[in-house]
Structure 1
Amino acid sequence: MIRAWSIPLLALGLAGCAQWERPGATPQMRDAALARCEAGAFQAAPPANMTVMTDRGGWVPGSRECKGEGANRRCRETEGYYRRPSYGTRDQNEPMREAFVEDCMRRDGWVLK
C-alpha cells in the first residue's frame, strides 16, 4: 500500500535541488507527470524493507583524563564497555523506483536540470 507521504518524499529524494523541465510545460503538468511515473514505480517495485546493521558496535576502551600539575594533578578514569550493534531498515527497492521514475520522465520528454 502506498502511503500518502511516501510519494512526495520520493520526489524530494530523487530531485534534490534539481527540477524536471520541459519546454512549454507548466508546474501542474510536471507534477501530474511525476505523480504518474511515481505511481508506476511503486507498482513495479513496492517497498521491500530489510534490516541492516547501522553500527557494528564493539568494545569501547576506557580512558584516563588528567588535569592540573604537581600536587594539584587530578586524574579521572573511565572503564571500557561493550556497545551493542544497532540496526535500522533500508528499502532495497528504492534505487529501482528512482531509476523507473527517471526513465519514465525522460521518455515523456522531461529533462532534469
Structure 2
Amino acid sequence: MLWRFLPVLFAGVVLGGCTTWVKPGATDLDRERDSSACEVDSYNHYPPRLRQVLVEPAHWEPMVEDCYTDKKGRRRCTRSGGYFVPNRYGTADENDAPRRSVYEACMYKYGWQKE
C-alpha cells in the first residue's frame, strides 16, 4: 500500500526538476508552502496514470570469440554472449505533462517566476 504514496513523496523532484522559482521578497518557506499547495492541486487534477512501456526490445546478444596465443604457441579462444535478451519494460506516467502544466500555472498564480 505504501507504493500508492510514492508519487507524492517524489513530487518535488519530478515537478520541480532543475527549475528554481523566485519571487521578490519571498522566503524559502514561502516557496515551499506555495509549491506544496500547487503539488496537491496538480495531483488532484491529474493523479498518476501509470502504464507499462517498452524500454529495450528483445534481441540476441551476439557470440563473441576472443582468441590469443598462449606461451606454448597454442591458439586459445574463449566465447561469450550468444544468448537471448527478453524485452525490458518500465513505467511511464501519462499524466506527467498535464500535471506539470497545472503545477506551473499555480506557481505563476502565486506570483512566482522561473529563474
Tell me which interval the TM-score lies in, with the shorter structure as reference length. 0.7 to 0.9
Instruction: Write the letter of the residue equivalent to 2:46.
Output: A
Which residue does 1:63 correspond to in 2? 64
Q: Cα distance, 1:79 vs. partner?
A: 5.5
1:41 aligns with 2:53: no
Question: Is the partner of 1:37 in helix, strand or coil?
Answer: helix
Q: Aligned pair 1:28/2:29, yes or no?
A: yes
Distance verdict in 2 for CA 1:38–1:67, change over 3 Å: same
2:63 aligned with 1:85, yes or no? no
How big is each residue's C-alpha offset from its partner over 1:10-46, in whole Å with a ceiling of 9 and x where there is no partner?
Answer: 2223333432110111111111111111111001000
Task: Tell me the distance in 1 between the aligned counterparts of 2:58 and 2:66.
Answer: 23
Q: Match of 1:95, as an amino acid?
A: A
Contact 1:7 1:35 in 2 (8 A): no
Query: TM-score, normalising length from structure 1?
Result: 0.84
Where in structure 2 are there 5+ consecutive unaligned residues? none
Question: How large is the Cα RMSD of the aligned pairs?
Answer: 2.0
CA contact (8 A) 1:61 1:81 kept: yes
User: What TM-score comes out, normalization by structure 2 length?
Assistant: 0.83
1:53 and 2:54 aligned: yes
1:108 to 107, 110, 114: 110
Q: Bigger CA drift: 73-82 or 95-104?
A: 73-82
Distance 1:72 1:111 in 2: 71
Distance in 2 (alpha carbons) for counterparts of 1:18 and 1:79: 43
| Partner Cα distance (1:21, 1:79) in 2 | 53
Equivalent pairs, count:
111
